[in-house]
Chain A
Amino acid sequence: MLQKYEPVIGLEIHAELMTQSKMFCGCRVVDSVEAEPNTAVCPVCLGMPGMLPVVNRRAVDFALLVALALNCEVQSNNIFARKNYFYPDLAKGYQISQYEFPIGLRGYLDITLSDGTIKRIGIRRVHMEEDTGKLTHLSDGSLVDFNRSGVALLEIVSDPDIRSGEEARAYAMRIRQILRYLRVNTGDMEKGVLRIEPNISIRPRGAEAFGTRVELKNLNSFRALADGTDFELDRQAALLDSGGRVIQETRGWHDARRETFSQRSKEEAEDYRYFTDPDLPPLYIDEAWIESARIALPELPQAKEARYRDEFGLSDYEASVLAEDRAVAEWFDAAVAGKGAGASPKTLANWILNDLFRLMNERGRSIDTLPVTPAALVALLGQVEQGTINQTTAREVLAEMMDSGRDPSSIIESRGLAQISDEAALTSIIDTIIAGNPGPVANYLGGKENLLGWFVGQVMRETKGRANPAVVNELLRTRLERERM
C-alpha cells in the first residue's frame, strides 16, 4: 500500500515543565488529576482585569536545557507573543507563546530504529508558552478548571522527517526520555503532562509537494501514537487510491476501536493574529546564562549508551536498559566509579540488570528508595573477588542488604558466611570424608576422575557451602593422589 506513497510526518510535542510555580504567576503547579478544581489559581492565571504576567526564570532554565539537549541554536532574543483565539478554557482570550523568536531553532535528535539503524530527525523549533485550563462537558453545561491555566509548557516541533508509526514512536520515546533525564517533565501521558500530536500526510513517491495534512489528537500512549499514525497513513492511502481526497482536519484516536475519527475540520487555516505581547519586554538570554545551562546539562541517554557499549563492552540491550532511566544510569555510573579493585563494569552491569532489578521488583523498590548504595554493591562484589564469599552467598547477602540496608561485611560476619579457606580446617574435613568413603575413593583411583566433583560436594555439605571451592579442589586432588601411593 505505502509503496506508492511516501508518508510525511511531523510531531508537535507539548510538555508541561515541572517548575514549582506557573509560567507567569506565583501559583503552584498541582497534579491536574488529583487536585481539587480551581484551587491553584490567582487573578493572573484567571485573566482578571489589570493583571500582568511575569516570566518564571526557572521555566526559562528548563526550556534552555531542553533546547540544548535537542541540539538547537539557542536564540538570545526571546520574544513572547500573544496567540489570539477563543475557547472558554483560555482565560485571557489569548495564549502567551513564542512565535517568530522562540528559544530554540534548528536542532536535531538521532533515533534508533528496530533494525538498529540510526536516523536523524530535525527539530524545527522549541518554544515556551503557557498551558490552558481544562474543560469538562456535562449534560447540563460545561465546567472549567483553571488549575492548569498558565502552567509552563514547552512545545517541541519536529521537521516532517518521520516516515512511519514506528519512527514516530521511537522519536517521541526519545524526547520523553530526554525530558525525564533533564527532570523537567514526568513523561506521564495519561495525566496529559506530555501530549503528542502528529501531523500526517502522504504524497506519491517522488513528488515534491506535500499532501494535505491531518492533525491527530488524544494519543495517550506510545502505542496509540504508533497505531494511530499507521492507521491514518493507511486511511489516507486508501482514500487517494479510491479517487478521494484528504481534507485538512483534526482527527482523534479512538483507543478502543483502534481508529481515527474526525474532530474538527480546518479547511481554512486559523488566524491567530500573533503579535508581540506588550506586557513582556524581550527576554535576553546571554552567553553566561547559556553556559550555566550547558554546565547543568547531564550526560544524555544516547551518550551514556554509547559509552556503556564502547568503553564497557556492554551489549546494545544492556546499555539501553541501564541508560533508560537517569537515576539507574547514575547509580551504575557511581558503582563503576567506586569499583576500585573490585568488579568490572560488565560484572556490575550483570548484577544490576539481573539480581538488583529482580530484588527491586520483588520488594517493590525504585532506584530512588533503594537501601543499597552503589558503594555497598561494589563492596559485596569485592568480597566475592577476594574469595570471602562465593556468588551464591553473595546473592543471599544482597537480598539481606535490600531488606536491612546493612553493609555486606557486617552481614557476612554476623551470619558467619565467610568462606573457609583455612587449609588445616579443610584438610581435616577431607580426611574424614576420604576415610568414610572407601568405595568412591577406589573408583576415583580406578580412573573415574570426574568423581572429584562428588567429593567437592561432600565438603560443601559438611561446611554448609562455605568452603572455598578453589582451595577444596586443590586439596582434594592432592589428597586423593596420596591415596594412590
Chain B
Amino acid sequence: MEPTISTLIELRDALRRGELTSVAATQAMLDRIVAIDNTIRSYLTVTDEMALEMAATADRRRAEGEDTPLLGVPVAVKDLLCLAGAPTTAGSKILENFISPYNAHAVDRLIEAGAVILGKTNTDEFAMGSSTESSAFFTTRNPWDTERVPGGSSGGSAAAVAAGLAYGALGTDTGGSVRQPASFCGLVGMRPTYGRISRWGVIAYASSLDQVGPMGQTAADTAALLSVIAGYDPRDSTSLDTPVPDYEAALTGDIRGLRVGVPHEFFIEGIDTEVEAAVRAAIEQIARLGAEIIEISIPHTRYGLPIYYLIASAEAGANLARYDGTRFGERVTGSDVIDTVERTRALFGPEVKRRIMLGSYALSAGYYDQYYGRALKARELIRENFRQAFETVDVIAAPTCPTTAFKIGERVDDPLTMYLNDMLTLPLNLSTGCGLSTPCGFDSKGLPIGLQLIGGPLQEATILNVAHAYEQTQPRRKPELALGDIA
C-alpha cells in the first residue's frame, strides 16, 4: 500500500485533477502511520478523526468547485505548535494533558489553505535538543537507519515526511531545529527570516530566535508550504508586515550569475570528510549551473555557540516560568503553593532544567554584563558579519551539520558534543537572514548529507530557487527500510 505519489506537489496536482480524493490520500497516510510509525515513532498524537473530517470537507469543497493552495493535502505539525482541540505537549510531561483552545497562526493558515492535519510530531522537550532524545515521551527514529536519531528538535516532523507519513510538515527552528533534522533525514527544511511567520500559538523556547519552518521532500514542496504560512499577523508584534511573494513561481531553476559565497569558517575542524566532500561537490554543481562561487569569511562563526546558548537559555528561563501548574497543564499538588509549584516543575526534563539554570545565571545580578549583555553585543558582530557578506554575495553555501545522523544514545550524556552539532546552523538564527538545508548526497553508511543555503533577510525565494536548480541535477532517493516495512 505504498503511495505512488510521494511529493506534496504531485499529490496536490493529482487531487486537482480528481485522480484521487483527499479522504483516500488521508486514509492511506493514516494506514501507513499505523503500519510503520510504531517503528519510526514520529507522531506524538495522530489526529485521525480530525484529519478524516478535514479531508471530507476538502473533498466537498473541491466538488463545489473550490480550490485552495493545499486543499486536501495531509501534513504534520510539530507538537510545539498549538492545534485547537488536540493535545499540545511540546514534548514535555508538564504539558502532557494540555489541550490547546487555540490554533497557532501557522496552523490556522494551513487549515485555511485546505490542508489536512494528520497529527502532532515528536520534538525535543520545548525544542531543546538536536535528536528528539530529550522528548519526555520517546525518541524518534531516523527512517534511513532506525538505530539513529532523526535530528532535532523537529525530528518527528522530519522523520514523518522522510518515511512518507506526511506530505510535508511544519517544524520550528531556533538554532537549527528544522535544517538539522532535514539534513539528517534527506529533506528540504527551511528556517525563514525572523518575523516572516507569526509565532502566535507557537510554544516559546527562545523568543528572539524561534521561527516556524516548513519541511518537504523537495524545494517546491517546501515553497508551497511557505507560501501558505508566511505573512503578517498583528497578534505577533515581531511579525513582518511585508508582502509574501509566490515562492513556487520563483522556482525558475535559473541561477546564472548568482553570487554564491563559501565561508571557510563553516568547514570546521572535526567536520566529517564525507560531509565536506559532498557539500563541496554540491557547490561545484551549483557553479556548473552558472553561479559564481566566491570565498568569503564569517569570522565570528565560532562565537555562535556560546552566544546562542546564553541568549536562548536566558529567554527560555523566562518563557518557561509560566509552567507552574496554576492555570493549565499538569499540577502536582504539594503541601502549599510553593511546594506545588516545585513539584510541578520537577516534571521538566534534565535538558530543560539545565538551560533554565544556565539562563537564570546569565541574567543574574553581577553576571548580566559578563554573560547575557556580552552575548547581545557579540550577536551584533555576527549580524554585521552576515550583513557584510551579503554585500558581495547573494547566497551563502555551507554544510548544514558537521556530521550525518548519529546513533541514538551516543551523545545523550555529553551535552557539549550534542551542542556542537548545531555549530553551523545557529549563526543564521543569530543573524537576520533565512536559510535552508537541502539533500546533497549520502555518506558511505547511506545516510543523507545536507547542504545549507543561507540568504539575506527575506531572500527565501532566492535560496529556494538555488535548492530547486540543484535538486534538478540530483537523483531522488527514498529511505529503503521504511518503504520495505510496508511492502
Contacts and interface: CB of A to CB of B under 8 A. Distances in A.
Interface of A: 43, 46-55, 82, 84, 86, 88, 91-94, 142, 144, 146, 269, 271, 273-275, 277-281
Contacts of B238: 278-281
Interface in B304-325: 314-315, 317-318, 320-322, 324
21 contacts: A43-B101, A43-B102, A49-B88, A49-B329, A50-B81, A50-B82, A50-B102, A50-B200, A54-B235, A54-B237, A84-B317, A86-B321, A88-B324, A88-B341, A92-B318, A273-B368, A274-B363, A278-B238, A279-B238, A280-B237, A281-B238
A278 B321 CA distance: 15
Q: Which of B88, B201, B320, B322 has the most CB of A within 10 A?
A: B322
Nearest to A93: B321
A282 to B, nearest CB: 10
B364 A48 contact: no
Contacts of A52: 199-200, 235-237
Nearest to B326: A88
Interface residues of B, number: 44
A269 B82 CA distance: 38
A404 B81 CA distance: 64
State the 5 A-B residue pairs at the shortest beta-carbon distance, nearest first.
Answer: A93-B321, A278-B208, A273-B363, A278-B207, A50-B201
Given A52-B199, A54-B234, A46 B327 contact: yes
B324 A48 contact: no
Most chain B CB within a 10 A radius of its CB, from A49, A50, A142, A280: A49
B217 interface: no
Contacts, number: 102
Nearest to A272: B365
A45 to B, nearest CB: 10
B225 interface: no
Contact of A91 (B236, B327, B341): B327
Contacts of B132: none
B326 A92 contact: no
Given A55-B237, A278-B208, 13 more contacts: A46-B328, A48-B328, A49-B98, A49-B100, A51-B201, A52-B235, A53-B237, A92-B322, A271-B364, A273-B364, A273-B365, A275-B315, A278-B315
B204 interface: yes
Interface string B211-239: 00000000000000000000000111110
B348 to A, nearest CB: 13
Interface in B86-142: 88, 90, 95, 98, 100-102, 104
Contacts of A278: 206-208, 238, 315
B202 interface: yes
B81 to A, nearest CB: 8
A131 B88 CA distance: 28
A164 B484 CA distance: 85
B341 A86 contact: yes
Q: Give the interface SS of chain A, mostly helix, strand, loop or mixed.
A: loop
Contact of B318 (A46, A94, A271, A281): A94
Contacts of A275: 314-315, 318, 363, 368, 372
Given A50-B82, A279-B238, A280-B237, A82 B318 contact: yes
A436 to B, nearest CB: 89
Interface in B429-456: none
A271 B321 contact: no
A86 B90 CA distance: 22
B234 A93 contact: no
Contacts of B324: 86, 88, 93
Contacts of B329: 49
A92 B321 contact: yes
Contacts of A55: 237
B271 interface: no
B203 interface: yes
B203 A49 contact: yes
Contacts of A53: 237
Contacts of A271: 364-365
B318 A88 contact: no
Contacts of B204: 49-50
A275 B201 CA distance: 22
A26 to B, nearest CB: 10
A94 B203 CA distance: 16
A344 B240 CA distance: 60
Contacts of B327: 46-48, 91, 146
A142 B335 CA distance: 12
Contacts of B81: 50
B360 interface: yes
A55 B234 CA distance: 11
Interface in B219-277: 234-238
Contacts of A280: 237-238
A154 to B, nearest CB: 20
Nearest to A84: B318
A273 B360 contact: yes
Contacts of B326: 88, 144
B337 interface: yes
B342 to A, nearest CB: 10
A269 B104 CA distance: 39
A269 to B, nearest CB: 8
Contacts of B203: 49-50
Contacts of A94: 318, 321
Nearest to A270: B365
Nearest to B208: A278
A275 B207 CA distance: 12
A378 B202 CA distance: 64
A49 B321 contact: no
Contacts of B101: 43, 48
Nearest to B337: A88
Most buried by A among B82, B208, B321: B321
Nearest to B360: A273
A21 to B, nearest CB: 14
Nearest to A50: B201
B321 A84 contact: yes
Nearest to A90: B321
Contacts of A43: 101-102
A279 B201 CA distance: 13
A146 B315 CA distance: 24
Nearest to B236: A52
A281 B321 contact: no
Nearest to A85: B321
Interface string B58-100: 0000000000000000000000011000001010000100101
Contacts of B202: 50
Contacts of A82: 318
A84 B207 contact: no
A309 B462 CA distance: 72
Contacts of B321: 84, 86, 92-94
Contacts of B341: 86, 88
A198 B109 CA distance: 51
Given A84-B317, A93-B322, A50 B364 contact: no
Contacts of A146: 327
A55 B104 CA distance: 20
A391 to B, nearest CB: 62
A49 to B, nearest CB: 5
Contacts of B100: 49-50
A52 B364 CA distance: 24
A49 B82 contact: yes
B344 to A, nearest CB: 12
A54 B320 CA distance: 20
A273 B368 CA distance: 8
A34 to B, nearest CB: 23
Given A84-B318, A275-B318, A50 B199 contact: yes
A77 B102 CA distance: 33
A48 B237 CA distance: 17
Contacts of B360: 273
Contacts of B237: 52-55, 279-281
B363 A279 contact: no
A273 B364 CA distance: 5
